[in-house]
């Protein structure tokens, strides 16, 4: 399963990188004479440059080229937002678990506070007020993704801190920094990796939802979410399914693939889930 997931992600990434070779239209090239054309096959319905194997959208842009190009945005947002939240979550969780006492209390109350916010709602407000661009999306999505990881890391730090080998290091006079970076951090990276795989999926879905509502990445830059915006019109939804169906399938496949990989990684790193 995890390998199927990996294969899908590799396929979408390499298509996005090789876009100039595998497509024959520019993703942003507008051609109003080809307004909402249905899919047409090369050499059967005309020459290669005239045909659009997935059809064209409401501005005559080639849907195939846009699908291929849009993968970049989704995967970038997913990776970077999840990385950012893993970074914040690990730091807060480590400090909280290692320092304990007052600091721990304060940080955990703050974490619970961020968790009570209806995340998607806050992200919508912040992104649209700060300005909908790629960087803001990544920062805002990343900022709301860390609480779960902070709690996970804290829990792990608390249990690792009492392990004999860490006690031994402490007894030998290891500094706090050495205990944290050499003895504790490597022990929790596996958990952070699994949690991060699962938030990549969440971040991709959030970006898609925002772009679909028209407050994410703005056109002409294609993203799978904003390619489906026009389907909010019942006319396009009913009569031009080739416009909204492929991007929907592309997002779904990507997120399924990421979740497959996350499940696989969890089973590989955490033998407890493999019992029975």
Partner 1 sequence: MRKYIIRRVLISLPMLLGISIITFTFINLAPGDPISAMIDPEEFQGLEDAQAMRESLGLDRPIPVRYVLWLREVLQGNFGYSYMSRRPVLDIIMDRMLATLELTTSGLVIATILGTIFGIIAALRQYSAYDYTLSIASLFGISIPTFFFALVALYIFSLKLHWIPSYGMYNAAEGFTILGNLHHLIMPAFVLSIDSMSGNTRYARTAMLEVLNADYVTTARAKGLAEYVVISRHAFRNALLPMITITTLRLPGLIGGAILIETMFSWPGMGLLSIKSITNRDYPILMGLTFFSATLVLYANLLADILYAYADPRIRVQD
CB of 224 to partner 1, least distance (A): 9
Site membership for partner 1, residue 271 (CB under 8 A):
no
Tokens of 251: 């997002």
Q: Quick one: which segment of 9-17, 60-68, 181-189, 231-239 binds partner 1 (CB under 8 A)? A: 231-239
CB of 105 to partner 1, least distance (A): 11
Would residue 53 be called left, alpha or beta, if left means φ above 0 and alpha means ψ between -120 and 50 degrees? alpha
Contact flags string 81-110 toward partner 1, x per CB under 8 A: ----------------------------xx
Select from 210, 185, 204 the least CA-distant residue to 93: 185
Q: Report the helix count and the strand count for the chain, using DSSP H and E.
A: 13, 0
Site membership for partner 1, residue 116 (CB under 8 A):
yes
Beta carbons within 10 angstroms of residue 173's beta carbon: 7
Contact flags string 233-252 toward partner 1, x per CB under 8 A: -x--xx--x--x---x--xx
CA dist 132 → 6, 204, 214 (Å): 30, 16, 9
Q: Closer CB to partner 1, residue 97 or residue 247?
A: 247
254, 71 in Cβ contact below 8 A? yes
Rg (CA), the chain: 23
Binding site for partner 1 (CB under 8 A): 109-110, 112-113, 115-122, 124-126, 128-131, 201, 205, 208-209, 212-213, 215, 225, 228, 231-232, 234, 237-238, 241, 244, 248, 251-252, 255-256, 258-260, 263, 275-276
């Amino acid at each position: 399963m995890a390998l199927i997931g990996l294969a899908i992600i590799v396929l979408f990434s390499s298509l996005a990188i090789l876009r100039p070779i595998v497509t024959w239209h520019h993703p942003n090239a507008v051609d109003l004479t080809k307004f909402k054309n249905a899919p047409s096959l090369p050499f059967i319905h005309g020459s290669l440059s005239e045909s659009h194997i997935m059809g064209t959208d409401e501005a005559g842009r080639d849907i195939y080229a846009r699908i291929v190009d849009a993968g970049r945005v989704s995967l970038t947002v997913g990776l970077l937002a999840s990385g950012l939240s893993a970074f914040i979550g690990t730091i807060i969780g480590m400090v909280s678990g290692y320092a304990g006492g007052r600091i721990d209390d304060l940080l955990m109350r703050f974490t619970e506070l961020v968790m009570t916010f209806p995340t998607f709602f806050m992200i919508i407000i912040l992104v649209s007020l700060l300005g909908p661009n790629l960087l803001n999306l990544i920062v805002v999505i990343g900022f709301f993704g860390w609480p779960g990881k902070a709690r996970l890391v804290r829990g792990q730090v608390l249990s690792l801190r009492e392990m004999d080998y860490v006690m031994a290091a402490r007894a030998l006079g290891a500094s706090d920094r050495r205990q944290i970076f050499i003895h504790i951090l490597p022990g929790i990276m596996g958990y952070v990796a699994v949690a991060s795989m699962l938030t990549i999926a969440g971040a991709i879905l959030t970006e898609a939802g925002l772009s679909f509502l028209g407050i994410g990445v703005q056109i002409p830059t294609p993203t799978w979410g904003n390619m489906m915006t026009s389907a909010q019109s019942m006319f396009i939804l009913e009569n031009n399914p080739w416009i909204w169906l492929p991007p929907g399938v592309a997002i779904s496949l990507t997120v399924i693939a990421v979740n497959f990989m996350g499940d696989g990684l969890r089973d590989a790193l955490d033998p407890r889930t493999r019992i029975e």
